[in-house]
Structure 1
């Protein structure tokens, strides 16, 4: 929905021609209220400690993928708001992907994924995306369980916000809870003067809402009595009945949005009242009532949104531009404008570890897909949330909605969605505030990619208004020398950097040939212009609670399978490591072995080790911030997780490894400060010998000189800055039964295929390919895509 079609109604309702306070407010909305929202898709709804969370982020500006931001911060917190991990994600056309590796010793509890762009920090923190992630651990002393009962509250909302004598009024009743809502509930409306007689009764549409109609009489007081399925009751008061005012009645259908205004005891009836319709923060419809009348009806056509689905906010203003009524409604409920993928071929099997494929049409307008394939166990468990609910509902509202995906499912109840919107307010902006001329303060702009502030220092003084040279080098790329001039504050700027490798920045001053002498007494300090912000609010309540675990802790089948999958992955990875180590053992003694003998004592000798020699081999470490960063991805079975200080902590086969510096037990923070040009050898020891899983780092001795230092040694004039976090590659498993070292007894993977960027190229059909586990008989396949005009393709179906 790139462009909103603007409609002026003509008949009893005539176009507004004069410039008014309201017109100025509408202009302000168009110019000052761009706002983003985020949806994060994860490969599973629950995890075991030690799992990897794969995620795909979608950032929208209204109902289109956002072009405002190119950077997204995604953070993982525990229930105590302690930051566990974070990622800086590159956004391309509003989309980006990444992953979190969970530690095996992570306590069982609810965790939270927070996602936001730098631009979103200008607005209410409640609009940032926070996703609930339950994580289970059989070894944890506590267990997550779903709360059996919860306290809830209720409110009644009149349609349009008014309740007027003699005018039939529709009410929405909305239940709220910090944890969980009752499965179903009923209610009745009474006159407090005659409480034993129900004026009308109603049943809940779902856990969230119900609705009823009533024609009030002046002077009477009305109440609603609600009872849930457990017998709990609540009594709430309806608003006082007004003697005069305006009522707004709205009905949304496939033809458009029909509204009816009725005035009661108004001085000039409805003359000069204005009707304004906005979609997001943009004007979509505007009209003025010129005639003396107490009733006006009109149909707003669906072309106001180019036929796309969206939430329309109708606001009614009197002749003085005062807001008198407002109402949210969904355009084209029950007729979702969603494309389906065209499948041109498929090969689906049920046999264990079989190869499966699904080919999509290469001639589609959709060229880039997000695909998730999971085992489907045949149980019909409805989704609690999905991309549709994030795009059309929860991304724009801060109140908790139970299972929002239900409102966009195949058998969705359009009455329930309408009642839900009666109970909601559009909080992206407040009309009364906008009418006064108030605009949001934009303190953080939306930069293109990553930008940094460089502070050069020479002989202890900042270089103000000076020419400096910065040599920039990415690993495995040629260095480039660039000229900069510092500003009056002594800063130079690196703007719009898009990379996912460490970038080495070296400072030179008045240098033509970059000789060693030109770097003496030079220092460089680098600061990012935009950084993550601390989370100030509270995490949403969940349906889960923690209880003390018994002696024999019960573990669900899903979590047991996840833990078994982790064991299988370790076995496969360990087999690969052993094969490589057998190859090493068969070699003749070489300088690396001699260096190992020179530096290592018997306690650190092991056949099951990987050695990196910095004395005899150029390891290209000069561009790395520290040796822990350099080690990432260089040894099978060795992974890293960042701690709260941003330092990489090594893990071997999912367990935190010990760190030794010259065979003395050390910690990651100390290792991170070790100059990389002072390293002689690094040894990765995997579960063998006397030290167990360990990373041992050895420094230079005597006349040793690093091979890497013969080319370049980092000095004070250099610094390394981190780019975007590069997503891991999802393993497409093919388990080889003919290789005894890799053979596993039971393949229990739940996620069989994850690809956040499946491309269509050169008319070759995009192919979804995956291997079955040992139990799947059918597969749940989710496919998401957007074309160049941001039309949505969304399909989730079962393949057998």
Structure 2
């Protein structure tokens, strides 16, 4: 006999009860307790400000070397409005051992991120998890990080392999979840169940509930995805067993959990439109408080008296679509039962996509007209992303933006085919109710909300950009170096340099950097007490644990068909020697970048900008500075030039000390480093002498600034002391999807069998809710699947799916 494994839901509820028994402040049988719940919920939301991140990818199956295109949506968990309080999203690709095989960063602009990356050539065939989160989300459980499954097929392998063991049903798991949390003796309860195999995949089951003596009480059968429910009224002292059978005749017996002698039972039903009906039973206390909250906002509260009333209606008119948590407290303020329900008034965006035809020929132009409205038919301006893919690609059932924001993002664990619960299938609503009974989870605990102590510490900050931190120590005795100026130089980044002093523990932390791709940055300590050497312990990595999630095995037949088709495509393309110029990508402009000189130090023009290409050659840099650079005065001692001064433009006087020199964004402190440069290698010279501009350099600009940019942009000072060169990873560089133009279908003989016909991450419907896109079909004779996802500024998500066919001229009827 297999042992019954207690559900986490029961353990959590039991923990709640023990914690609340110790909190005397909860002993409020009147409206004071309800007011406290409301106030503390609001305070918690203001403090925690939970986020959600969603990724829309062009598809779910790739071969090595192919590009994965993606768009990120970052929203407030409370109202799903896009935001950019955090401006960095971390993206990881995890293998079946939960190891990150790829890490990337994405810049967030107004709540949206755009990018792509190449599937590494050395990845073996298998199933991988694509994960996304921002730094602020690390303050909560990683269960609320975004995850989705993708397939990778390595064509170099003779046979596609799977990184996972094959699932078996010989040993399966069956869990039971009494509605509300506990079985209570003498009270009829609905008990949900869920059955999964060794790989975590749902399996259909059926069986009977029997007593320890073998008397049959009731039967049960799974309704959807291994889930279902049955009713049971426990008898005092009686033990119950579940005798279970699978479709392959595998059988097992499980013990149900022991019923409590006293308590309260909560049953919820949402079969009546506009109302969720709650029925309460109790064999002990008769009074309590019933509350319901969604996304951290209290929408319903009422004192209950079971002697007078057992059924309570929760109106849903003002409740947003999504999960509603219904909690029953006794008169002492202890949580006795909780149930998740779902509000679905279908207030999501209505997105319509209309191809100008249903059947096309290869390389024919297609135009898609898009319209977006709200549920009442009013036009909506929305931010959308679109993928047009070969319908024959391997499919992986994943959440879309609608099912993710409203369902998956608020539940723990894997949900098979989440979009199914929003389908037109008449079974979907009942199946969703079973899902919420078996997979219930919340973003907070009532202990966190109502405890008189402070809320849990938020250790991780919202990031305004890429960050780098560390500690400064003495190189000789490893003692920390406090109150020391540290300068960060990041040529080509925005901003290109920052400065700060270490704290009493020698710590420094630079943030709000913005740059694309990998880059070398420099940490410099200009001077120390007694001029000692220092060392910097720098942390540029982010290691985030992962509890793991359900990963399904690759279907062998599907894998074989996809790899054979991909190999043929690559062979044909190779045979025609397709040139690189056919796949040119256009890099999006980096905010703050100066096109003429991408390494301008601040977001203001220098007072003097000298381009050496406009002049004849000079023998040395002293001659350059003397002849063509205005606003400076060379200094000499005993006839030898040893420095210079910059003109304070406001006072019309020269500063009394040497300026701050920058060469390729790196601060240097000696004029000799400037004089030693080869004039032929210098591209531009910038002079800053206005106080309002020098203020942006803070302490470094007190005597003016002279900035030199070389042609190679790779300057590194000789005999550099206390200068540390650090490799860092920047943002994914946003590029435009390559979409060829075939004005004439005979203009090129080169084959075009791209599996993704079109990807556009920046489709914006106008004030009239309209948008239109056009592209040319590849050569594939197939059916193409259009998927559009997006969200409005008010936080309403929406999706649209459509298809069209590509046929040869005779097939298309021409």
TM-score by length of 1: 0.69
Structure 1 stretch displaced more, 446-455 or 122-131: 446-455
Within 2, Cα distance between the matches of 1:161 and 1:493? 46
Please name the residue that 2:161 is paired with: 144
Residues 535, 178 of structure 1: alpha-carbon distance in 2 compared, 3 angstrom cutoff = farther
Within 2, Cα distance between the matches of 1:243 and 1:295? 23
SS in 2 for 1:277: strand
Matched, 1:388 2:402: yes
Please name the residue that 1:631 is paired with: none
* Cα pair 2:66 2:119 within 8 Å, conserved: yes
Matched, 1:749 2:769: no
**Of residues 422, 442, 448 in structure 1, which corresponds to 2:464?**
448
Deviation, 1:176, is 3.1
Within 2, Cα distance between the matches of 1:761 and 1:710? 45
* Cα pair 1:179 1:543 within 8 Å, conserved: yes
SS in 2 for 1:447: coil
Within 1, Cα distance between the matches of 2:72 and 2:249? 42
Matched, 1:309 2:321: yes
Structure 1 stretch displaced more, 768-777 or 758-767: 758-767
Residues 570, 456 of structure 1: alpha-carbon distance in 2 compared, 3 angstrom cutoff = farther
Please name the residue that 1:651 is paired with: none
Matches within 5 A, 1:143-222: 143-144=160-161, 147=166, 149-150=168-169, 151-181=171-201, 183-195=203-215, 197=216, 199-222=217-240
Matched, 1:300 2:314: yes
* Cα pair 2:787 2:801 within 8 Å, conserved: yes
* Cα pair 2:384 2:788 within 8 Å, conserved: yes
1:483-517: per-residue Cα shift (whole Å, max 9, x none)? Answer: 85635568886543444377887899999xxxxxx
Please name the residue that 1:772 is paired with: 777
Structure 1 stretch displaced more, 108-117 or 123-132: 123-132
* Cα pair 2:352 2:372 within 8 Å, conserved: no
1:201-251: per-residue Cα shift (whole Å, max 9, x none)? Answer: 232112230111233333332222222211122322233344432121111
* Cα pair 1:469 1:481 within 8 Å, conserved: no
Matched, 1:346 2:353: no
Within 2, Cα distance between the matches of 1:230 and 1:459? 68
Within 1, Cα distance between the matches of 2:497 and 2:679? 34
1:303-322: per-residue Cα shift (whole Å, max 9, x none)? Answer: 342xx311111111111111
**Of residues 713, 732, 755 in structure 2, which corresponds to 1:725?**
732
Matches within 5 A, 1:241-260: 241-252=259-270, 253-260=272-279
Deviation, 1:358, is 0.3
Residues 559, 61 of structure 1: alpha-carbon distance in 2 compared, 3 angstrom cutoff = farther
Please name the residue that 1:223 is paired with: 241
Within 2, Cα distance between the matches of 1:280 and 1:440? 18
Matched, 1:64 2:80: yes
Matched, 1:539 2:548: yes
SS in 2 for 1:126: helix
* Cα pair 1:621 1:676 within 8 Å, conserved: no
Residues 483, 17 of structure 1: alpha-carbon distance in 2 compared, 3 angstrom cutoff = closer
* Cα pair 1:753 1:769 within 8 Å, conserved: no
**Of residues 446, 452, 455 in structure 2, which corresponds to 1:431?**
446
Please name the residue that 2:588 is paired with: none
| Number of residue pairs aligned between Structure 1 and Structure 2 | 642
Structure 1 stretch displaced more, 111-120 or 27-36: 27-36
Residues 176, 240 of structure 1: alpha-carbon distance in 2 compared, 3 angstrom cutoff = same
Deviation, 1:432, is 4.0
Please name the residue that 1:419 is paired with: 434
SS in 2 for 1:400: coil
* Cα pair 2:350 2:372 within 8 Å, conserved: no
Please name the residue that 2:109 is paired with: 92
Residues 113, 771 of structure 1: alpha-carbon distance in 2 compared, 3 angstrom cutoff = same
* Superposition RMSD in Å: 4.6
Please name the residue that 1:798 is paired with: 803
Residues 492, 397 of structure 1: alpha-carbon distance in 2 compared, 3 angstrom cutoff = closer
Within 2, Cα distance between the matches of 1:414 and 1:155? 21
Within 2, Cα distance between the matches of 1:292 and 1:555? 59
Matched, 1:50 2:65: yes
Deviation, 1:168, is 2.6
Structure 2 unaligned spans of 5+:
1-28, 374-378, 585-595, 602-662, 666-677, 684-708, 718-722, 806-814
Deviation, 1:326, is 0.8
Residues 32, 223 of structure 1: alpha-carbon distance in 2 compared, 3 angstrom cutoff = farther
Within 2, Cα distance between the matches of 1:362 and 1:545? 36
Please name the residue that 1:372 is paired with: 387
* Cα pair 2:381 2:767 within 8 Å, conserved: no
Within 1, Cα distance between the matches of 2:118 and 2:536? 31
Residues 566, 579 of structure 1: alpha-carbon distance in 2 compared, 3 angstrom cutoff = closer
Residues 211, 81 of structure 1: alpha-carbon distance in 2 compared, 3 angstrom cutoff = closer
* Cα pair 2:126 2:161 within 8 Å, conserved: yes
Residues 129, 788 of structure 1: alpha-carbon distance in 2 compared, 3 angstrom cutoff = closer
**Of residues 320, 323, 332 in structure 1, which corresponds to 2:332?**
320
Within 2, Cα distance between the matches of 1:410 and 1:222? 37
* Cα pair 2:491 2:599 within 8 Å, conserved: no
Please name the residue that 2:699 is paired with: none
* Cα pair 1:55 1:97 within 8 Å, conserved: yes
SS in 1 for 2:351: coil
* Cα pair 1:343 1:361 within 8 Å, conserved: yes
Within 2, Cα distance between the matches of 1:303 and 1:524? 62
* Cα pair 1:382 1:406 within 8 Å, conserved: no
SS in 1 for 2:435: helix
Please name the residue that 1:596 is paired with: none
SS in 1 for 2:434: helix
Please name the residue that 1:516 is paired with: none
Structure 1 stretch displaced more, 86-95 or 175-184: 175-184
* Cα pair 2:490 2:496 within 8 Å, conserved: yes
Please name the residue that 2:716 is paired with: 715
Deviation, 1:107, is 1.8
1:167-212: per-residue Cα shift (whole Å, max 9, x none)? Answer: 33211111134415355322222233243x4x32232112230111
SS in 1 for 2:356: strand
1:611-645: per-residue Cα shift (whole Å, max 9, x none)? Answer: xxxxxxxx999999xxxxxxxxxxxxxxxxxxxxx
SS in 1 for 2:32: coil
Residues 136, 368 of structure 1: alpha-carbon distance in 2 compared, 3 angstrom cutoff = same
